[in-house]
């Protein structure tokens, strides 16, 4: 009918305009107008278990003109469905929930032990459309508890945790933040990965990481901070953190800040034998030292410092690698992917028992350190 | 011969005699002399000028020539000689023109024994002094604006163009008012077809009166239903001159300071003479800025409505929180709220135009600040919307073309309504419809969106950007000018 209207020359243009408007109304559009102030903005989600039930806690934002914005936490339960639990909010909250602004998803270790991570996050990656940038954290104990603790700056919990997670650039004990999008990549690739671990006492605190298995997609174990440092070096994400070493002669400490860090995992396949070289390159600068006699600008000091740091990094990496290979048998640094990319034929042979293969491959760690700056003055006598 | 003089005088008496201030002054020139009659309207003709420049020379001629039989031809010659430098004298052949000249304040001189009429420009009207145009002020550039008098305006342009091919074609417009209208062009630049078309359209206008070029504009434009101006109106003499130099045609009308410049393109809404007076990076920056402002003025309120009530997910999270908190306790949906503010802003703008100048400023402050502040505090509208509306209002003033910006002011409302019904989808639809409309309208055969649609690569150097003059050697291709080069001919 509409096509006829447009083709016909006898119908005047005013009528064509009306016809066009009517036609537009039938096209797909967004018909559901929802005033923004009639929606409830959800800032964060916590997933817990409560006696075999899934317990879902949403942090709703209460935006106020006169006072500071506050929040309210709404907890709902369901047997196994996140979606069903979400919908139960309708019994409690008058405003319709707006899921677009979810900043973080907290999962308790209990929930992750019971349910697979892809099941838990499915509804968030599939239908509710929070940003793929929203963060995922594993909470030791009660996850909804973490959503009640204000930050040190009295920020709302969801805001505070989001910013806290970004602090991995300041401290190598904190693993890199994990986004929802990254989790879904790991899930689909079936790789092991670590997620930031949150401990809630008086306040929220980042402490180490949680290891999630790529095969079972469930919680495996905690990773302590020392291993996280090693993993960070292997992933090349130590930039901004510090490294503390002891001067071999004086036994005094020196602290270096990592200005730049790169790492490369290089697989070598020789027949049936697979080996790896981890090559770490880093630029550091001296930030703090208690070595009194050191001539900071002189070559001997710099060489010793360099060698000490190289040894330290190498040791850290080897230690955590050993733990990952022998104890946890988890490939979180992406060794498997390197093999898959570089030697796809070999990968096909080993992929089914990669966990075993990974735990046995010899890894050589090479560290190259460049000291960029040692500070403007020397501390030595007469200098 | 004598009968012709008397007959003409009789005719004039018959046609003009009923006017209360008409004067038929008969006098003798020379001893026995010949009759000379002056016909003028005492109300608008400058009698001092008349005395000084016509009567005196006539008497002087009469005294010098003491011949019993004065020769009419001689008298004519003398008259022209004597008055040549002081007064403009024209000879008219047609008595009908004579009547119009008398009605426009000039004096008609009839000499016995001569078929011709002399028209002496004695019309003296109060003239406004040349001022800076108030609608198109510039920081840098000439301060000269057109005034209501056509001759003065022509003088302003003529003064700056000393070119033999600068042509001024005058016609009269208005069945009853018979105003003077001038079509200006440079004959070896402008496309002759364009000039011909402009003249044809102007001549075809049949109205009782056209008191502003706005009326002329609407008679000769192609699409009367469009919200966009298709002919540029300007008070600036430098703008008119630049237009002439680029091969456009300028129309001046007696009684209005607004000149018409044709053809016009959409991009001229974002162009100001200052783009050329300042160095090129600034000119380019300002053009892009004005285009952004045009977009903001058209779409910002509707985008706000669409985003708030349909797609909150597209707003950055922190912003959404501040919007939500600013909308706390607002009783209206966002569309109604926006409509209230936009309409009250338009009322405020309209009202402040009508107010005496002194009060206008006060009302601006009262309306803008006090009402806005009070409305926010009373939770009738949200503070965020005030920002949106304020930004829109400011942006709509950024276009150097007043008539363009009012068109956009009007467009804002339908787009807002569409946004309230269809959301962002509606805004995009409106954008598409608007775009489709703009590419299909034409101004004197030149597509409105050219040189971007259809694309003319050479004209890009002076459309969105303004390249340095070193590279700007050619006139716009879309105008199909006869002489394409405008600068640096030697190095061609």
Distance (Å) of CA A302 to CA A259, A307, A369, A379, B200: 16, 9, 11, 14, 90
Q: Residues A204, A160: contact at Cβ < 8 Å?
A: yes
Compare A130 and B190 and report the one with higher pLDDT.
B190
- Record the tokens describing residue B268, joined without a space: 């001229």
- Alpha carbons A285 and A302: distance in angstroms, whole number: 11
Task: Give just the sign of the alpha carbon dihedral B350, B351, B354, B358.
Answer: negative
**Which residue of chain B has the CA closest to A32?**
B310
What pLDDT shows up at residue B492? Answer: 43
Whether residues A36 and B426 touch (CB distance < 8 A) is answered with no
**pLDDT tens-digit map of A26-80:** 665 556 777 888 888 999 999 999 888 899 999 998 888 777 778 889 888 888 8
SS3 at position B371:
helix
Q: What is the distance in angstroms between the Cα of A82 and the nearest Cα belonging to chain B? A: 21
Residue A211: strand pairing partners: A194, A221
What is the ipTM score, two decimals?
Answer: 0.78
Task: Give just the sign of the alpha carbon dihedral B386, B391, B392, B396.
Answer: positive
pTM of the model: 0.83
Give burial (CB, 10 Å; 0-12/13-18/19+) of A73.
middle
User: How many other C-beta atoms can be found within 10 angstroms of the C-beta atom of residue B256?
Assistant: 23
Question: Is any Cβ of chain B less than 8 angstroms from the Cβ of A69?
Answer: yes
What pLDDT shows up at residue A210? Answer: 93
**Which residue of chain A has the CA closest to B309?**
A35
Q: What is the distance in angstroms between the Cα of A35 and the nearest Cα belonging to chain B? A: 4
Q: For tokens 């209207």, name the residue.
A: A5
Question: Is any Cβ of chain B less than 8 angstroms from the Cβ of A100?
Answer: yes
**Which residue of chain A has the CA closest to B336?**
A35
What pLDDT shows up at residue A39? Answer: 87
Nearest to B167 by CA among B107, B251, B254: B251
Q: How far is CA A139 from the centre of its chain?
A: 13
Nearest to A130 by CA among A41, A31, A39: A41
Chain A from 28 to 67: CB within 8 A of any B CB:
29-30, 32-37, 39, 41, 61, 63-65
> Using only C-alpha atoms, what is the Rg of chain B?
30
**Cβ-based contacts of A32 with chain B (< 8 Å):** 310
**Which residue of chain B has the CA closest to A68?**
B325
Whether residues A69 and B328 touch (CB distance < 8 A) is answered with no
Q: What is the DSSP letter of A372?
A: E
Question: Is any Cβ of chain A less than 8 angstroms from the Cβ of B428?
Answer: no
DSSP A192-237: -EEEEEEEESSSEEEEEEEEE-TTT-SEEEEE-HHHHHHHHHHHT-
What pLDDT shows up at residue B161? Answer: 92
Q: Is the pLDDT of residue A201 over 60?
A: yes
Whether residues A98 and B312 touch (CB distance < 8 A) is answered with yes
Whether residues B423 and A29 touch (CB distance < 8 A) is answered with yes
Whether residues A65 and B426 touch (CB distance < 8 A) is answered with no
What pLDDT shows up at residue A168? Answer: 86
Give burial (CB, 10 Å; 0-12/13-18/19+) of B54.
buried
Phi, psi values for residue A222, rounded to 5°: -85, 155
Chain B from 324 to 383: CB within 8 A of any A CB:
324-330, 333-334
Averaged confidence pLDDT in chain A = 86
> Using only C-alpha atoms, what is the Rg of chain A?
27
Which whole number is the average pLDDT over A341-363?
Answer: 89
Task: Give just the sign of the alpha carbon dihedral B50, B52, B56, B58.
Answer: negative
Q: Residues B110, B8: contact at Cβ < 8 Å?
A: yes
Strand A96-98 and strand B89-92: the pairing is unpaired
Best residue of A6, A28, A63, A134 to probe chain B, by most B CBs closer than 10 Å: A63
Q: For tokens 């011909």, name the residue.
A: B196
Chain A from 101 to 120: CB within 8 A of any B CB:
101, 103
Phi, psi values for residue A22, rounded to 5°: -65, -40
What pLDDT shows up at residue B39? Answer: 87
Phi, psi values for residue B376, rounded to 5°: -70, -45
Whether residues A41 and B321 touch (CB distance < 8 A) is answered with yes
Q: Residues A247, A288: contact at Cβ < 8 Å?
A: no
Phi, psi values for residue B395, rounded to 5°: -60, -35
SS3 at position B409:
helix
SS3 at position B390:
helix
DSSP element (H, E) containing A264: strand A253-270
Nearest to A36 by CA among B30, B315, B92, B96: B315
Question: Is any Cβ of chain A less than 8 angstroms from the Cβ of B384?
Answer: no
Lowest mean pLDDT among A148-152, A313-317, B437-441: A148-152
DSSP B87-124: S-EEEE--HHHHHHHHHTT-EEEEETT-S-EEEE--B-
Residues 6+ apart with CB under 8 A from A66: none
SS3 at position B152:
helix
- A33, A69, A101 ranked by CB distance to B309: nearest: A33
- Alpha carbons A104 and A220: distance in angstroms, whole number: 21
Q: Is the pLDDT of residue A234 over 70?
A: yes
**Cβ-based contacts of A30 with chain B (< 8 Å):** 310-311, 422-425
Q: Residues A348, A257: contact at Cβ < 8 Å?
A: no
**Which residue of chain A has the CA closest to B383?**
A65
SS3 at position B25:
strand
Residues 6+ apart with CB under 8 A from A53: A77, A78, A79
What pLDDT shows up at residue B100? Answer: 82
**Cβ-based contacts of B334 with chain A (< 8 Å):** 35-36
What pLDDT shows up at residue A46? Answer: 93
Residue ranges in chain B whose pLDDT is less than 50: 1-2, 492
First to last CA, chain B: 63
Strand extents, DSSP E, B64-205: 89-92, 107-111, 117-120, 166-173, 179-186
- Alpha carbons B205 and B310: distance in angstroms, whole number: 49
Nearest to A312 by CA among A284, A276, A287: A284
Nearest to A228 by CA among A337, A163, A324, A356: A324
Task: Give just the sign of the alpha carbon dihedral B63, B65, B70, B72.
Answer: negative
Q: Residues A160, A241: contact at Cβ < 8 Å?
A: no
Nearest to A106 by CA among A170, A176, A180, A38: A180
What pLDDT shows up at residue A382? Answer: 47
DSSP element (H, E) containing A243: strand A242-246
Compare A12 and B384 and report the one with higher pLDDT.
B384
pLDDT-based confidence at residue A380 (cuts at 50, 70, 90): low
Write down the number of H helices and E strands in chain B.
Answer: 18, 12
**pLDDT tens-digit map of A73-107:** 988 888 888 888 888 888 999 888 888 888 899 99
- Alpha carbons B451 and B454: distance in angstroms, whole number: 6
Q: What is the distance in angstroms between the Cα of A36 and the nearest Cα belonging to chain B? A: 6
Question: Is any Cβ of chain A less than 8 angstroms from the Cβ of B426?
Answer: yes
Nearest to A125 by CA among A57, A77, A177, A183: A183
- Alpha carbons B296 and B262: distance in angstroms, whole number: 27
Q: Residues A151, A157: contact at Cβ < 8 Å?
A: yes
Distance (Å) of CA B248 to CA A182, B228, B448: 61, 19, 14
pLDDT-based confidence at residue A214 (cuts at 50, 70, 90): confident
Nearest to A222 by CA among A363, A319, A132, A332: A332
């Amino acid at each position: 009918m509409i096509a006829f209207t447009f083709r016909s020359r006898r119908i005047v243009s005013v009528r064509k305009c009306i016809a066009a408007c009517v036609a537009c109304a039938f096209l797909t559009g967004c018909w559901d107008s929802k005033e923004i102030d009639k929606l409830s903005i959800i800032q964060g989600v916590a997933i817990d278990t409560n006696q075999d039930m899934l317990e879902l806690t949403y942090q709703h934002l209460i935006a106020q003109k006169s006072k500071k914005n506050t929040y309210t936490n709404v907890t709902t339960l369901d047997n196994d469905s996140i979606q069903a639990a979400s919908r139960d909010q309708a019994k409690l909250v008058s405003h319709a929930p707006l899921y677009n602004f979810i900043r973080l998803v907290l999962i308790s270790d209990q929930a992750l032990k019971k349910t697979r991570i892809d099941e838990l996050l499915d509804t968030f990656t599939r239908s509710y459309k929070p940003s793929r940038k929203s963060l995922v954290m594993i909470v030791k104990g009660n996850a909804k508890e973490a959503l009640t603790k204000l930050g040190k700056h009295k920020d709302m919990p969801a805001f505070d945790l989001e910013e806290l997670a970004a602090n991995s650039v300041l401290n190598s004990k904190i693993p890199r933040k994990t986004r929802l999008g990254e989790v879904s990549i790991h899930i689909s690739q079936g790789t092991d990965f670590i997620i930031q671990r949150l401990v809630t006492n008086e306040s929220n605190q980042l402490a180490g990481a949680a290891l999630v298995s790529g095969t079972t997609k469930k919680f495996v174990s905690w990773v302590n901070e020392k291993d996280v440092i090693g993993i960070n070096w292997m992933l090349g994400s130590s930039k901004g953190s510090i490294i503390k070493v002891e001067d071999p002669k004086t036994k005094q400490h020196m602290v270096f800040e990592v200005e730049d860090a790169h790492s490369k995992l290089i697989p070598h396949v020789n027949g049936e034998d697979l080996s790896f070289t981890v090559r770490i390159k880093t630029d550091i600068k001296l930030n703090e030292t208690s070595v009194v006699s050191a001539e900071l600008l002189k070559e001997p000091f710099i060489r010793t410092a360099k060698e000490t740091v190289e040894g330290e990094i190498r040791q850290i990496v080897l230690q955590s690698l050993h733990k990952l290979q022998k104890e946890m048998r988890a490939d979180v640094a992406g060794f498997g992917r390197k093999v898959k990319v570089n030697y796809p034929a070999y990968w096909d042979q080993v992929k089914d028992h990669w966990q075993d293969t990974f735990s046995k491959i010899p890894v050589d760690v090479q560290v190259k350190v460049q000291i960029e700056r040692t500070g403007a003055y020397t501390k030595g006598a007469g200098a | 011969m004598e009968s012709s003089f008397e007959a003409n005088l009789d005719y004039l008496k018959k046609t003009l005699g009923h006017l209360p201030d008409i004067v038929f002054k008969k006098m003798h020139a020379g001893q026995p002399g010949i009759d000379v009659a002056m016909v003028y309207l005492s109300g608008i003709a400058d009698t001092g000028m008349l005395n000084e420049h016509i009567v005196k020379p006539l008497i002087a001629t009469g005294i010098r020539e003491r011949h019993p039989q004065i020769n009419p031809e001689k008298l004519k010659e003398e008259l022209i000689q004597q008055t040549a430098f002081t007064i403009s004298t024209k000879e008219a052949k047609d008595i009908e023109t004579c009547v119009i000249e008398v009605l426009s304040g000039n004096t008609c001189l009839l000499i016995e024994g001569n078929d011709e009429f002399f028209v002496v420009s004695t019309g003296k009207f109060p003239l406004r002094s040349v001022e800076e145009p108030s609608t198109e002020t510039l920081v840098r550039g000439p301060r000269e604006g057109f005034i209501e008098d056509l001759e003065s305006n022509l003088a302003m342009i003529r003064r700056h163009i000393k070119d033999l091919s600068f042509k001024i074609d005058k016609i009269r417009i208005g069945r009853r008012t018979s105003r003077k209208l001038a079509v200006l062009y440079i004959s070896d630049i402008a496309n002759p077809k364009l000039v011909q078309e402009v003249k044809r359209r102007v001549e075809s206008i049949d109205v009782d009166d056209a008191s502003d070029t706005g009326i002329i504009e609407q008679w000769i434009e192609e699409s009367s239903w469009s919200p966009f101006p298709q002919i540029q109106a300007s008070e600036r003499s430098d703008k008119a001159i630049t237009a002439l130099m680029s091969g456009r045609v300028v129309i001046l009308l007696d009684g209005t300071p607004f000149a018409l410049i044709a053809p016009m393109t959409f991009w001229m809404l974002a162009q100001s003479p200052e783009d050329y007076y300042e160095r090129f990076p600034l000119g380019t920056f300002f053009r892009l800025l004005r285009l952004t402002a045009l977009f903001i003025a058209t779409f910002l309120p509707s985008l706000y409505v669409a985003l708030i009530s349909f797609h909150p997910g597209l707003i950055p999270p922190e912003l959404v929180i501040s919007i939500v908190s600013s909308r706390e306790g607002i009783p209206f949906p966002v569309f109604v709220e926006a409509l209230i503010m936009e309409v009250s802003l338009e009322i405020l703008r309209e009202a402040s135009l009508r107010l005496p100048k002194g009060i206008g400023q006060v009302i601006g402050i009262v309306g803008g600040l006090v009402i806005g502040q009070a409305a926010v505090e009373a939770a009738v509208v949200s503070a965020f919307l005030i920002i949106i509306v304020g930004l829109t209002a400011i942006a709509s003033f950024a276009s150097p073309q007043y008539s363009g910006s009012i068109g956009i002011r009007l467009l804002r409302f339908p787009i807002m309504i569409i946004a309230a019904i269809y959301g962002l989808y509606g805004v995009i639809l409106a954008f598409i419809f608007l775009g489709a409309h703009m590419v299909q309208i034409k101004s004197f055969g030149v597509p409105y969106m050219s040189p971007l649609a259809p694309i003319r690569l050479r004209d890009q150097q002076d459309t969105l950007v303004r390249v340095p003059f070193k590279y700007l050697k050619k006139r716009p291709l879309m105008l199909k000018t006869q002489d394409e080069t405008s600068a640096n001919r030697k190095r061609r």
